[in-house]
Structure 1
Amino acid sequence: MPQVHWIMSNGDRVSDDVNDGTNLMDAAQMNGIPGVAGECGGCLSCATCHVYVDEVWLAACPPMDEVENAMLDIVIAPRQSGSRLSCQLMASAALDGIVLHVPD
């Protein structure tokens, strides 16, 4: 099982093993991560699951599609180079150990 690490803006850290194929928004909600609302349920229509992928993990992430890119233009927290919607990232061996920073 891949491990995911979430780091909150206050420095608190939560880590958990996540089943392969689980999107990281669902994993965040299962772990009670504040700030990952996922109001649309992962349908790529709300941008409330915005996270910052730690820079060392960006290359391991799948490419962003046009819809996700457009949705990141409406996020509340500032868009950064590591901005992704966690509903579009799936737990996998390639992302084992990924670090996600949760914006305020």
Structure 2
Amino acid sequence: MAKITFVEHNGTEHVVEVAAGLTVMEAARDNNVPGIEADCGGACACSTCHVYVAPEWVDRLPPKEAMEEDMLDFAWQPDPARSRLTCQIKVTDELDGLVVHMPEKQI
């Protein structure tokens, strides 16, 4: 199990425990974390699970694939270095302590 901290735009934190093999998006959905809409259900066909990864975690995540890069073009105020789609981040034990910040809104 990994603990992931979701930080809402207003600063409210949600710490959830998630089993390895799920995605960060599924962790948010299954724990009713507000701000992660996940309209496409994790198919990387929208940008409504967009987050900004805490700077200290950026280089510790697997690199973005082309499809994720393309979908981030539709996200609210994407940051080239920190923006990720949570549906594309698989939880592993190595992600214990991951912190992600949610944008002001999802589009």
Band of TM-score, shorter chain: over 0.9
Percent of pairs with identical residues: 38
CA distance in 2, matches of 1:54, 1:71: 20
Query: 2: distance between equivalents of 1:100 and 1:69?
Result: 18
Map 1:19-38 to 2 at 5 A.
Answer: 19-38=19-38
Moved over 4 A (4+): none
In the TM superposition, what is the alpha-carbon distance from 1:16 to its structure 2 partner? Answer: 1.2
Residues 4-83 of structure 1 aligned to structure 2 (within 5 Å): 4-75=4-75, 77-80=76-79, 81-83=81-83
Q: Secondary structure at the match of 2:73?
A: helix
Quote the offset at 1:70 in angstroms: 0.6
Q: TM-score normalized by structure 2?
A: 0.93
Give the alignment's Cα RMSD to 1 decimal.
0.8
What SS does the corresponding residue of 1:74 show, helix, strand or coil?
coil
Q: State the 1:33 CA deviation.
A: 1.4
The gaps in structure 1 that reach 5 residues or longer are none
Q: TM-score, normalised by structure 1?
A: 0.95
Q: Distance in 1 between matches of 2:16 and 2:27?
A: 8
* Number of residue pairs aligned between Structure 1 and Structure 2: 103
What amino acid is the match of 1:17? E
Gapped regions of structure 2 (runs ≥ 5): none
